[in-house]
Amino acid sequence: MGNGRWDAGTWASYASSNVSGKSKTQIFTSRSMDEKYDPAKIELRESRDSADNPMSTPIILASDVTGSMGMIAEKIMRDGLNTLATEIYDRKPVTDPHIMIMGVGDAEYDRAPLQVTQFEADIRVAEQARELWLEGGGGGNGGESYMAAHLFAATKTSCDAMEKRGRKGFLFTIGDEPVLDGMRKEQIQNFIGIPAERDLSASEILAMAERNWEVFHIVLSKEGYASYRLDEVLASWKPLLPERTILLEDVDALAETVVSLIQVTEGARATDVASSWSGSTAVAVANALKGVPGRVGQAGGLVRLG
């Protein structure tokens, strides 16, 4: 999938009819998971080169949709998708973005702990994202199943970027809670739809995903669980992604932070990237980029930051 191109004018028209002036429940009208987004029933999600996108780059935004975290999906829908796509086109850190949206929940408690759209390059990204179910569940188990997103990406995606060009895609999980330590084999079979001989730990799943994906987790440090138990959240994530656990203080700067992380990973200087934004966004991005390493160059040296 991934034909077409994102167009700001098409987005403006779509947003005027489907997003602007509407509440979250009016934007996201699903009250159960649509079968076409059920990972257990999906054989494969593909990101393929096309005449419109000859050098496709797959990008996954996996948003926590438990409890109050439906606000992330709402933020992505109100202005995040347009900012993400148009800024990638303008800044060109990567070519021809193909965007997938995931909804992440809790495999211990939720009916839909993972939902997965297609990879799309045009307004179909928004159309499919609006069809996701903001279940709003979760439980009192001190974490969410963010690793379900990593496992799906590792086992049920096929992308020309990796297979033709040896280029990794980008996978961002976003939320406020610790990560549950992997998935039980029953959960893998029931929710991802692949046979599993044993449980998989978070570190095992992450290692699988990192073969083909640049993986980041964005902690919304001023929201929800993280706003009062940030140390606990970081104690969960930092051992897994020590340099790619990103603290974001302002959810309004989410899309800009994602674009900036792609830029830095592709070799831009963090200080230059942060200063390219304005006002409070520049401050939020600068803080989020602290300590993020650039891509290892062909000669083996890290790109110097700041």
102-130 tens-digit pLDDT: 999 999 999 999 999 999 999 999 999 99
Does residue 261 surpass a pLDDT of 80? yes
Does residue 58 surpass a pLDDT of 80? yes
pLDDT reported for residue 17 = 97
pLDDT of 71-110, one tens digit each? 999 999 999 999 999 999 999 999 999 999 999 999 999 9
The whole-model pTM stands at 0.95
Name which of 245, 171, 248 is nearest 208 in CA terms: 171
Token couple for 160? 């020309």
For the chain, the 3-state helix, strand and coil shares in percent, each to the nearest 5, are 40, 15, 40
CB 115 within 8 A of CB 37: yes
pLDDT band for position 299 (cuts 50, 70, 90): very low
Token couple for 121? 């390059």
Token couple for 69? 């975290």
pLDDT reported for residue 166 = 98
Choose the CATH number for 8-288 among 3.40.50.410, 3.40.50.720, 3.30.470.10, 3.40.30.10.
Answer: 3.40.50.410
Strand partners, 60: 100, 171
pLDDT reported for residue 1 = 63
pLDDT reported for residue 295 = 63
pLDDT reported for residue 305 = 29
- Domain range list for the chain: 8-288
Torsion of CA 128, 92, 63, 100, to 10 degrees: 30
Does residue 301 surpass a pLDDT of 60? no
Does residue 228 surpass a pLDDT of 70? yes
